[in-house]
């Protein structure tokens, strides 16, 4: 093999695999040709130095937000021709969810008024596979930037579309609340697929952990306190009544179990979740 | 807002936004600062949305977005095309031969040559490469793309990717060698 041909294969030797019929000759040439050996070594070092010093960095949240914001502006421009507030209010996309939200809210208020017989301490939420505990932990990781969304979007439809393209075994519920941005990612916990949706609403954040309902209520990987299972079976909603600071709300919708945590206090969180 | 418009937005965001990281990194390494990188990224996504109807579904979305970014960069920051500096490769090679004589471990060589370099210097050396060379080095060595994908990104044959990468790395070595000399890690003749 000639030096010129070896030079041609240098990149392949470093970045990927050499064709099997070439490799032996290539290595043999390097053994006897110091010039090509040096060239190969220098190219390898050059790649190594770049990889070592110039890291791939995650897009800062502020940049993601500014992209979402600028897209929103463009969408808004196209919305300029839309009708007045009454027309928009009476449109199916607003009126029906508002009406449904009112009904859910009323049901939820009734649920809160019912005497709650179950009582257990906070240790109920410290099991590593407890959905409420996981919701707390994930929300903390997201807030600290250690758990980064794959998508930061402007609309709930985009998040729904994102999950629709993912291979999840449940339908992800996306709350239609006016937001600055919606973020999404999915992950696996002990082989169980989990969807994470983050809503930025003004200065507040709302995080919703979602999983297949059967996995959460009957599976072996995830767990919930017994009182939560009973409440979910009765009304489809649960919150821990004994811990005012535990602002995690759990509910089921179709075949999905959702658990929300937020920077908002519990009352405000309820209002957002139930009037959507 | 019509259902069609909402559908378009949802499809666009779900398909295009998850690739923000690779675009942001490229923008950052190309413009050299965070503000310009953010502006370039924003402009890329706005243009991509505007031309979303032109995107052929099922084709490589990353490559499509990348090409929009590249064009936006050229339009926005068009500079005189940099010519590769004249590099005395023999000088590097001679130095390399002298230190290689007493080294057997390649990692040791790397340490001797570039071990004292700081991240900023490597970044500067990378940024100073001519556009075409820098692009393939970023995509291959930082983003870890395959030659095939890089070829699709930059719309040229794999052979061209291969030669640009080889030349880009040689120029980078020369730049780093100069930094090392300035630092006194390598003695000037």
Q: Is B69 on the interface with A (CB under 8 A)?
A: no
Q: Is B126 on the interface with A (CB under 8 A)?
A: yes
- In this prediction the ipTM stands at 0.80
Tens digits of per-residue pLDDT, A23-74?
888 889 989 888 888 888 888 888 888 888 888 888 998 899 899 989 988 8
- State the residue range of the domain holding A183: 61-274
**Per-residue confidence band for B24, with pLDDT thresholds at 50, 70 and 90:** very high
Same domain, A172 and A243: yes
Angstrom distance (rounded) from CA A42 to CA A48: 10
Which of A54, A66, A87 to probe the B interface (max B CBs under 10 A)? A54
pLDDT score at A21: 81
Q: Which of A 162-221 lie inside 8 A of B, CB atoms?
A: 162, 164-165
Provide, rounded to the nearest whole percent, the portion of chain B with pLDDT above 70.
Answer: 74
Strand partners, A260: A208, A249
Give A254's DSSP letter.
T
Q: What average pLDDT does range B39-61 have in this prediction?
A: 93
Same domain, A168 and A109: yes
In angstroms, what separates the C-alpha of B109 from chain A's closest C-alpha?
Answer: 9
Q: Which of B 160-179 lie inside 8 A of A, CB atoms?
A: 162, 165-166, 169-170, 172-173, 176
pLDDT score at A115: 43
Give all strands (DSSP E) within A167-255, no chain letters: 181-189, 192-201, 204-212, 237-239, 249-253
Q: A153–B114: do the CB atoms touch at under 8 Å?
A: no
Mean pLDDT of chain B: 81
Strand order across the A237-239 sheet: A151-153, A181-189, A192-201, A204-212, A256-262, A249-253, A237-239
Angstrom distance (rounded) from CA A130 to CA B11: 34
Same domain, A118 and A41: no
Q: A151–B13: do the CB atoms touch at under 8 Å?
A: yes
Nearest CA in chain B to A185: B18
Residue given tokens 């880009």 in the structure block? B168
Same domain, A172 and A241: yes
Nearest CA in chain A to B160: A8
Same domain, A207 and A116: yes
Tens digits of per-residue pLDDT, B69-126?
999 998 877 654 455 555 565 665 666 555 555 554 555 556 666 666 666 788 888 9
- Tokens coding A51: 């990889």
pLDDT score at B179: 78
Mean pLDDT of chain A: 81
Question: Does the structure show a pLDDT above 60 at B188?
Answer: no
Query: Which domains can be identified in chain B, with CATH numbers?
Result: 3-77 (1.10.1740.10), 89-182 (1.10.10.10)
Same domain, A209 and A239: yes
What's the pTM? 0.72
Same domain, A162 and A236: yes
Q: A54–B119: do the CB atoms touch at under 8 Å?
A: yes
- Number of Cβ within 10 Å of residue A230's Cβ equals 15
Same domain, A29 and A84: no
Long-range pairs, A102-106, Cβ under 8 A, ≥24: A102/A275, A104/A274, A104/A275, A105/A271, A105/A274, A105/A275
Q: What is the mean pLDDT of each run of 10 residues along chain A (276 residues)?
A: 83 83 87 86 86 87 90 80 51 60 58 44 68 90 86 89 90 88 92 94 91 91 89 88 74 93 85 76
Q: Is residue A237 within 8 Å of A114, Cβ to Cβ? A: no
A vs B, Cβ pairs < 8 A, gives 159
Number of domains in chain A: 2
Q: Is residue B16 within 8 Å of B45, Cβ to Cβ? A: yes
Q: Is residue A272 within 8 Å of A175, Cβ to Cβ? A: yes
Q: A165–B141: do the CB atoms touch at under 8 Å?
A: no
Same domain, A206 and A250: yes
Among A12, A30, A53, the domain-final residue is: A53
Same domain, A118 and A241: yes
Same domain, A44 and A162: no
In angstroms, what separates the C-alpha of A242 from chain B's closest C-alpha?
Answer: 40
Over its C-alpha atoms, chain A yields an Rg (Å, rounded) of: 27
Q: Is B60 on the interface with A (CB under 8 A)?
A: no
């Amino acid at each position: 093999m000639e030096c010129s041909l070896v030079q041609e294969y240098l990149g392949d030797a470093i970045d990927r695999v050499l064709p099997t019929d070439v490799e032996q000759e290539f290595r043999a040439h390097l053994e006897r040709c110091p010039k090509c050996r040096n060239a190969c070594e220098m190219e390898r070092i050059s790649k190594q130095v770049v990889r070592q010093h110039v890291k791939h960095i995650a897009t800062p949240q502020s940049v993601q937000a500014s992209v979402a914001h600028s897209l929103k502006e463009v969408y808004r421009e196209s919305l300029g021709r839309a009708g007045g507030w009454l027309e928009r209010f009476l449109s199916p996309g607003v009126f029906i969810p508002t009406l449904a939200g009112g009904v859910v809210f009323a049901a939820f208020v009734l649920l809160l008024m019912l005497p709650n017989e179950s009582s257990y301490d906070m240790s109920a939420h410290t099991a590593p596979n407890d959905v409420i505990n996981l919701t707390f932990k994930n929300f903390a990781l997201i807030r600290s930037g250690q758990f980064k969304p794959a998508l930061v979007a402007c609309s709930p439809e985009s998040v729904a579309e994102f999950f629709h393209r993912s291979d999840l075994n449940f339908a992800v519920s996306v709350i239609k609340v006016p937001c600055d941005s919606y973020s999404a990612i999915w992950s696996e916990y002990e082989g169980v697929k989990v969807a994470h949706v983050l809503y930025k609403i003004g200065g507040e954040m709302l995080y919703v952990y979602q999983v297949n309902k059967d996995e959460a209520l009957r599976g072996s990987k995830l767990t919930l306190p017994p009182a939560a299972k009973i409440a979910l079976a009765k009304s489809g909603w649960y919150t821990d009544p004994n811990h005012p600071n535990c602002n995690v709300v759990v509910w089921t919708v179709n075949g999905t179990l959702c658990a929300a945590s937020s920077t908002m206090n519990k009352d405000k969180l309820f209002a957002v979740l139930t009037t959507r | 807002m019509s259902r069609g418009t909402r559908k378009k937005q949802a499809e666009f965001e779900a398909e295009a936004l998850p690739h923000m990281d690779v675009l942001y990194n490229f923008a950052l390494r190309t413009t050299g600062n965070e503000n310009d990188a953010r502006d370039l990224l924003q402009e890329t996504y706005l243009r991509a949305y505007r031309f979303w109807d032109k995107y052929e579904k099922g084709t490589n979305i990353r490559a499509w977005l990348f090409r929009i970014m590249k064009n936006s960069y050229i339009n926005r920051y068009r500079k005189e095309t940099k010519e590769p500096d004249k590099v005395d490769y023999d000088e590097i090679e001679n130095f390399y031969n002298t230190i290689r004589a007493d080294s057997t471990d390649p990692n040791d060589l790397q340490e001797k040559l570039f071990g004292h370099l700081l991240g900023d210097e490597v970044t500067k050396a990378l940024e100073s490469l001519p556009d075409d060379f820098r692009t393939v080095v970023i995509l291959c060595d930082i983003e870890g793309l395959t030659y095939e994908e890089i070829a699709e990104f930059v719309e040229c044959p794999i052979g061209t990717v291969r030669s640009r990468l080889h030349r880009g790395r040689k120029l980078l070595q020369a730049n780093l060698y100069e930094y090392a000399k300035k630092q006194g890690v390598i003695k000037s003749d």
